[in-house]
């Protein structure tokens, strides 16, 4: 796959000709509803085998080969050149595809209400081929240790048909919010804890789930050790039942990080006890906060650098959002919540308001501002092919287990194309 950023005056015909693709292939890959409505600054994925690189000032065959981790001889051969040949700015070099690396991928799916919506059923059908796990969010813990299950519709069957294993996400959500009190009860009342683990094992074995995923948030800081003890007990019992265990962790940058989100999450202990962790590296930009990138790569990197010092990297799934936000300006603390938008919606908003998409190189994230029909200013931050590629590069750099998406339901076709193009998705059934 090739990532291309639309410039002033570009047409799909010109882009397709430049990269030896076809207009229809580009339309299909990027799910362009109106192919003539390109936005300046919009990132497109060009479906070709390998990619092209346009020589920049100062480049040599040797430096380009090193950049793409191939030999000078191979680069010269595939381009019909001599290995000592001088290359000039603007010259197009073909870069052959490298080997695909294995990756574990998870995506949470959150059915709401009494039934699974058709949107989520379709998302599961379209994207479980690219997933190791489909994380059913969530089985909510009641104060007596029983569980309230989400509607599942055809999700479990669809996942199995596409080789994805089911992750049973267990939370201390109560009334739509994470409950500190429910968390405390689970971790400190033995009878409730026993009932909870009994129920989890019964449901997981009956439904054929593979992983039990504890997403316990807003826990009292003083329950840190109680949470660790609970996980050790859960690990013993779940392992006996043939089940994996995983946890969701707040994005910390040090063991001493303060705040109720962080203090009860002991990175070192989780790394020792559970089979894998999902680090929730998103929501720097969030619905009630000021406008900024949802998962800026510079901030994500700081979390990963700390995480790998406490947790084996082969146990870490990097959290990644599949959405962005549209903030109404000026931002007022405690005011109106930003509207969640898919990457596709964000591009449509930019086109409708005739504004170019900018790119923050430090955060590695696209954004733009616009004024709506009522004269209100807005700021939009979202994800595109470039921002997701930055996260893939981070996963490779730190040799992490893989990636975990929050959450299915908003369209981001480029992510799935790039994921499938660059990695071999692990399927547990195939490995056994």
Q: Counting runs of H as helices and runs of E as strands, what totals does the chain give?
A: 15, 21
On whether both 69 and 25 belong to a single domain, the answer is yes
Q: Is 217 a catalytic residue?
A: yes
Q: Which of 95, 125, 158 is the last residue of a domain?
A: 95
Q: What is the CATH number of the domain that holds 232?
A: 3.20.20.80
Structural domain includes residue 339: no
Q: Which position has the token pair 């004269």? A: 375
Per-residue pLDDT 10s for the chain (432 aa) are: 899 999 999 999 999 999 999 999 999 999 998 888 899 999 999 999 999 999 999 999 999 999 998 999 999 999 999 988 889 999 999 999 988 999 999 999 999 989 999 999 999 999 999 999 999 999 999 999 999 999 999 999 999 999 999 999 999 999 999 999 999 999 999 999 999 999 999 999 999 999 999 999 999 999 999 999 999 999 999 999 999 999 999 999 999 999 989 999 999 999 999 999 999 999 999 999 999 999 999 999 999 999 999 999 999 999 999 999 999 999 999 999 999 999 999 999 999 999 999 999 999 999 999 999 999 999 999 999 999 999 999 999 999 999 999 999 999 999 999 999 999 999 998 776
User: Alpha carbon of 301 to those of 184, 297, 322, 357: distances in Å?
Assistant: 31, 6, 18, 24
Give the chain's length: 432
Contact, 284 vs 360, CB < 8 A?
A: no
The total domain count for the chain is 2
Residue 89 structural domain: 2-95
The catalytic position among 51, 199, 217, 379 is 217
On whether both 209 and 255 belong to a single domain, the answer is yes
User: Cβ contacts of residue 258 below 8 Å, gap of 6+?
Assistant: none
- Quote the percentage of the chain above a pLDDT of 70: 100
On whether both 36 and 110 belong to a single domain, the answer is no
pTM, rounded to two decimals: 0.94
Q: Burial of 25 by CB count in 10 Å (0-12 exposed, 13-18 middle, 19+ buried)?
A: middle
Report residue 7 CA to chain centroid gap. 27
What is the Cα–Cα distance from 303 to 300, expressed in whole angstroms? 5
Q: Which of 44, 66, 95 is the last residue of a domain?
A: 95
Structural domain includes residue 52: yes
On whether both 33 and 171 belong to a single domain, the answer is no
On whether both 119 and 221 belong to a single domain, the answer is yes
On whether both 229 and 186 belong to a single domain, the answer is yes
């Amino acid at each position: 796959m090739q990532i291309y950023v639309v410039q002033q005056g570009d047409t799909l015909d010109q882009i397709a000709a430049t990269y030896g693709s076809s207009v229809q292939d580009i339309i299909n890959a990027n799910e362009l509803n109106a192919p003539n409505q390109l936005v300046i600054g919009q990132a497109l994925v060009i479906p070709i085998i390998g990619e092209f690189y346009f020589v920049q000032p100062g480049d040599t065959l040797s430096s380009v080969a090193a950049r793409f981790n191939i030999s000078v001889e191979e680069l010269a051969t595939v381009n019909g050149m001599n290995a000592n040949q001088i290359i000039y700015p603007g010259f197009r070099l073909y870069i052959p595809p490298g080997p695909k690396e294995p990756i574990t991928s998870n995506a949470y799916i959150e059915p709401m209400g009494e039934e699974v919506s058709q949107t989520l059923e379709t998302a599961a059908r379209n994207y479980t081929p690219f997933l190791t796990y489909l994380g059913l969010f969530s089985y909510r813990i009641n104060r007596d240790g029983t569980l309230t299950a989400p509607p599942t519709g055809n999700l479990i069957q669809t996942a199995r048909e596409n080789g994805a294993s089911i992750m049973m996400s267990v939370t201390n959500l109560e009334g739509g919010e994470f409950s500190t009190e429910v968390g405390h009860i689970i971790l400190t009342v033995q009878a409730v804890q026993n009932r909870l683990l009994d129920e989890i094992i019964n449901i997981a074995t009956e439904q054929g789930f593979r992983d039990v995923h504890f997403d316990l948030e807003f826990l009292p800081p003083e329950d840190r050790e109680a949470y660790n003890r609970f996980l050790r007990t859960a690990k013993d019992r779940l392992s006996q039942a043939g089940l994996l265990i995983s946890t969701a962790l707040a994005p910390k940058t040090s063991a001493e990080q303060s705040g109720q989100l962080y203090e009860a999450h002991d990175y070192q202990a989780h790394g020792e006890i559970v089979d894998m962790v999902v680090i929730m590296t998103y929501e720097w930009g969030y619905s009630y906060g000021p406008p900024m990138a949802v998962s800026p790569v510079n901030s994500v990197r700081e979390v990963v650098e700390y995480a790998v010092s406490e947790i084996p990297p082969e146990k870490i799934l990097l959290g990644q959002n599949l959405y962005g936000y549209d903030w109404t300006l000026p931002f007022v603390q405690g005011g109106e919540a930003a509207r969640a938008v898919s990457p596709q919606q964000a591009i449509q908003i930019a086109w409708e308001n005739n504004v170019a998409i900018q790119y923050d190189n430090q955060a590695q994230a696209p954004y733009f501002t616009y004024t709506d029909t009522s004269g209100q200013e807005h700021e939009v931050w979202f994800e595109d092919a470039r921002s997701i590629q930055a996260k893939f590069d981070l996963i490779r750099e730190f040799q992490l287990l893989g990636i975990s998406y929050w959450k299915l339901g908003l369209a981001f076709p480029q992510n799935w194309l790039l994921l499938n193009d660059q990695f071999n998705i692990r399927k547990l059934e195939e490995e056994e």
